[in-house]
Amino acid sequence: MGEVLSLILGGGRGTRLYPLTQLRSKPAVPVAGKYRLIDIPISNCLNSGLNRMYVLTQFLSVSLHRHIANTYKFDPFSKGFVEVLAAQQTNEKADWYQGTADAVRQQIRYVVEDACREVLILSGDQLYRMDFRQLIRTHRQTGADITIAVIPVPRDQVPGFGIVRLDDSSRVIQFVEKPKTEEEIAPYHTPPEWIARHGVNAPDRPYLASMGIYLFNRRALLEQLNARPIATDFGKEIFPRSIQSHKVVAHLFDGYWEDLGTIKAYHEANIALTQDNPPFDLNSPEGVIYTRMRFLPASRLAGCELKQSVIGDGCMIQPGTVIERSLVGLRSIIGRGVRISDSVLLGADRYETSAEMSANRTGGVPDIGIGDGTVINNAIIDKDCRIGRGARISNDGRIQDGEGEHFVIRDGIVVLPRGITIPDGTVI
């Protein structure tokens, strides 16, 4: 698959994931206990035989750059690479990326200089497994100029996606970005039997949504970006017009796929990993997820009780603690008699030394981790948080959205920003 060049879009501000994106870009947000979101599209590429990737970055990108540089290293004879293309001012343009299409346009010289046959464009904030070789096969067999990966969705999800309408040959004949009214949506209803004939059984999902995964012939990509020099977004501006001048087809996908662009979606996807049969199985032999190698010890669990939970490496959990339906990230230190349920703990980047912990006690500052007797429910705890003894983080008031000095609430989920200190006995 050396003829395919992959571009992974990672430059958005990620405002809907705030405060997880307060100090990092969206693709750098930890996921599933030990990975970062950027690991998902990169791993899908590697598992599909695609080893030439550019990651387009812009917002709070230092940690993302560091992760990529420390993780993805190739044999010099393999011709593989994962390189960062950061937004930059040039003699021609001094603006930041204005959208998906504009991000690609600003870095187009790397496509022009490459001898690739096709360009695969991916998002950096989705959780899924896909063999891109099947997408490429659809593209080539149909003689497409552009192929859009689509997934069936129910009616209530339609306003959140770009929706396509196909003819009998799977050619895209209409494309609308996030339709809201019934008048806009009605023409895009696809008969379930038509979807079934094309290998997907989705009787209650009759609309075909763009997954933000696109495969362009190199020439078609250059033509579309040059023909519309002020177009900034693929979904809103490029695709509705390209179907008039180019052959655009759809590739149907029916596996697990989640856009983790909101706090609610992020929380639900991580909690789902704790199920007996998770929809996204990290233990599956099909499609390994790669990430940075860490030299961490196995987790030490001392007289605690774990129920349907995922525990990362290097954790220490003390006696009397009960953890239910929760995901506990790397290096998490959890004290005695703690109760954690339906929560995501991102862990810590380091262990504190004995001298540091002694200084903490002298200054009345909690250690990094979760103090004795704390209760945490329906929450996301970012990295390196210090939560004192007897705290309660559970949103008992059932607030949907709000902010306080030490926390943010989104969709009823309490989120503690990275590195925050919660004193003993605090109630949130």
253 and 352 inside one domain: no
Considering the domain boundaries, does residue 290 fall inside one?
no
The average pLDDT across 177-203 equals: 92
Domain at 396, CATH number: 2.160.10.10
Considering the domain boundaries, does residue 108 fall inside one?
yes
pLDDT in tens, 300-352: 999 999 999 999 999 999 999 999 999 999 999 999 999 999 999 999 999 99
Considering the domain boundaries, does residue 410 fall inside one?
yes
pLDDT in tens, 239-298: 999 999 999 999 999 999 999 999 999 999 999 999 999 999 998 888 899 999 999 999
Considering the domain boundaries, does residue 293 fall inside one?
no
166 and 30 inside one domain: yes
- Residue 30 confidence (pLDDT): 96
Considering the domain boundaries, does residue 170 fall inside one?
yes
Considering the domain boundaries, does residue 280 fall inside one?
no
pLDDT, averaged across the chain: 94
* Position 91 pLDDT exceeds 70: no
Confidence of residue 131 (pLDDT cuts 50, 70, 90): very high
Burial of 268 from C-beta contacts in 10 A (0-12 / 13-18 / 19+): middle
Name the token pair of 325. 């339906």
234 and 374 inside one domain: no
Distance CA 51, CA 262 (A): 29
Where among 227, 255, 272 does a domain terminate? 272
141 and 255 inside one domain: yes
Domain count, the chain: 2
Domain at 171, CATH number: 3.90.550.10
* Position 2 pLDDT exceeds 90: no
The average pLDDT across 178-190 equals: 95
Where among 272, 289, 318 does a domain terminate? 272
256 and 325 inside one domain: no
170 and 209 inside one domain: yes
* Position 218 pLDDT exceeds 70: yes
> Which residues are registered as beta bridge partners of 248?
146
* Position 378 pLDDT exceeds 90: yes
267 and 313 inside one domain: no
The average pLDDT across 168-191 equals: 94
Of residues 15 and 343, which shows the higher confidence score? 343
307 and 239 inside one domain: no
Considering the domain boundaries, does residue 171 fall inside one?
yes
The average pLDDT across 346-372 equals: 96
The average pLDDT across 112-124 equals: 95
Three-class SS string for the chain? CCCEEEEEEECCCCHHHCCCCCCCCHHHCEECCCEECCHHHHHHHHHCCCCEEEEEECCCCHHHHHHHHHHCCCCCCCCCEEEEEECCCCCCCCCCCCCHHHHHHHCCHHHHCCCCCEEEEEECCEEECCCHHHHHHHHHHCCCCEEEEEEEECHHHHHHCEEEEECCCCEEEEEEECCCCHHHHHHHCCCHHHHHHCCCCCCCCCEEEEEEEEEEEHHHHHHHHHHCCCCCCHHHHHHHHHHHHCCEEEEECCCCEEECCCHHHHHHHHHHCCCCCCCCCCCCCCCCCCCCCCCCCCCEECCCEEECCEECCCCEECCCCEEECCEECCCCEECCCCEEECCEECCCCCCCCHHHHHHHHHCCCCCCEECCCCEEECEEECCCCEECCCCEECCCCCCCCEECCCCEEECCEEEECCCCEECCCCEC
- Residue 1 confidence (pLDDT): 67
Distance CA 190, CA 252 (A): 13
* Position 44 pLDDT exceeds 90: yes
Considering the domain boundaries, does residue 252 fall inside one?
yes
CB 164 within 8 A of CB 175: yes
- Residue 368 confidence (pLDDT): 98
Burial of 419 from C-beta contacts in 10 A (0-12 / 13-18 / 19+): middle
Of residues 199 and 206, which shows the higher confidence score? 206
The average pLDDT across 402-411 equals: 95
- Residue 10 confidence (pLDDT): 87
- Residue 94 confidence (pLDDT): 65
* Position 198 pLDDT exceeds 90: no
Distance CA 126, CA 291 (A): 16
Domain residues for the domain of 398 are 300-422
268 and 369 inside one domain: no
Distance CA 339, CA 105 (A): 50
- Residue 77 confidence (pLDDT): 84
Confidence of residue 176 (pLDDT cuts 50, 70, 90): very high
The average pLDDT across 204-225 equals: 96
- Residue 217 confidence (pLDDT): 98
